[in-house]
Amino acid sequence: MTSQLFRPLTLDGLQLPNRIVIAPMCQYSAENGSATDWHLIHLGNLALSGAGLLIIEATAVEPEGRISPDDLGLWSDENEAALGRVLDAVRRHSDMPVGIQLGHAGRKASVHSPWNGSRQRPLDDRGWQTVAPSGLPINPNDRPPLPLDAAGLKRVREAFVATAKRAVRLGLQMIEIHCAHGYLLHQFLSPLANQRDDAYGGTLENRLRFPLEVYEAVRDAVSAHIPVGVRVSGTDWVDGGWEIEQTIAFAQALKARGVSFVHVSSGGVSPEQKIPLGPGYQVPLARAVKAATGLPTIAVGLITEYEHAEAIVAGGDADMVGLARGILYDPRWPWHAAAHLGASVKAPKQYLRSQPRQLKELFES
């Protein structure tokens, strides 16, 4: 039987050779937002993995939108040139489709990198004043963010558009807007972070308004041939927070506006979250969105076993499977999955001799 995980898929004209997606993973290794040699090594390695799509890490649309001072950005000519250098090198050796995730950290910005504790940085130690829907810090001892006023909302919308246009100039083939993990657009969605009393807060319709405005602005700014999708947190895992029924309403509103896909994750907006970690713990969220909307969906979250990934796609839970930490641990995961499932995968010609003798059909010519 043909593996469903290795069937091709087309998203708004973008052809993917299989259903394995390398999910965005922050590297905290940029310089003033610009990609470095680390990104060349990191993305180059992943681009040889045989996956169907590679999505570049959350990329800030303005300096204040970075999670840490070391985050990747795409707000300046210097950022664009640096990422262009990386992409040029990657493309010389791989034809894997490459997309990018655009984001703004909001109140979760201005922190140390994870290996330095992820605490909020002081203003005199490479820190900055954060912004958010409301003046609520994520941690009680953090500096309160400044609520975005009309001018701030306009600035952020325009920053997403300008960054999307830079991504198109770089030849990136897909754009994902980050509305998950407690970052700015998720903060507007969740009643735990959004306590505004204007047109952008209160009711579900109002809380959807700004994320939808950003999506529409980006969608209008790029070619219809470039898929534009959204990453969502299916639930906050906190009583009284954002939950799957609201996620479905958001996805339906996005579908009405032509969204190309939804990438379903969860959590991130509150330290009070209680996440039931386990293999595929977020798959039911992707299944619910797909069942209610029919949209192409990406499922992600502790998916490490080949048969599990196959079952997710074959069973209709999601159209694609996202790998993050798992593919950092095993950058040849798609090769091994293809071998296990009796499929074939693309490999660089320099590696063709590594094909095991008993798997003569593993590598595509």
Say which of 28, 183, 200, 306 is annotated catalytic: 183
Among this protein's residues, is 281 annotated catalytic? Answer: no
SS3 for the chain is CCCCCCCCEEECCEEECCCEEECCCCCCCCECCECCHHHHHHHHHHCCCCCCEEEEEEEECCHHHCCCCCCCECCCHHHHHHHHHHHHHHHHHCCCCEEEEEECCHHHCCECCHHHCCCECCCCCCCCCCEECCCCCCCCCCCCCEECCHHHHHHHHHHHHHHHHHHHHCCCCCEEEEECCCCHHHHHHCCCCCCCCCCCCCCHHHHHHHHHHHHHHHHHHCCCCCCEEEEEECCCCCCCCCCHHHHHHHHHHHHHCCCCCEEEECCCCCCCCCCCCCCCCCHHHHHHHHHHHCCCEEEECCCCCHHHHHHHHHCCCCCEEEECHHHHHCCCHHHHHHHHHCCCECCCHHHHHHCCCCCCCCECC
Active site residues: 183
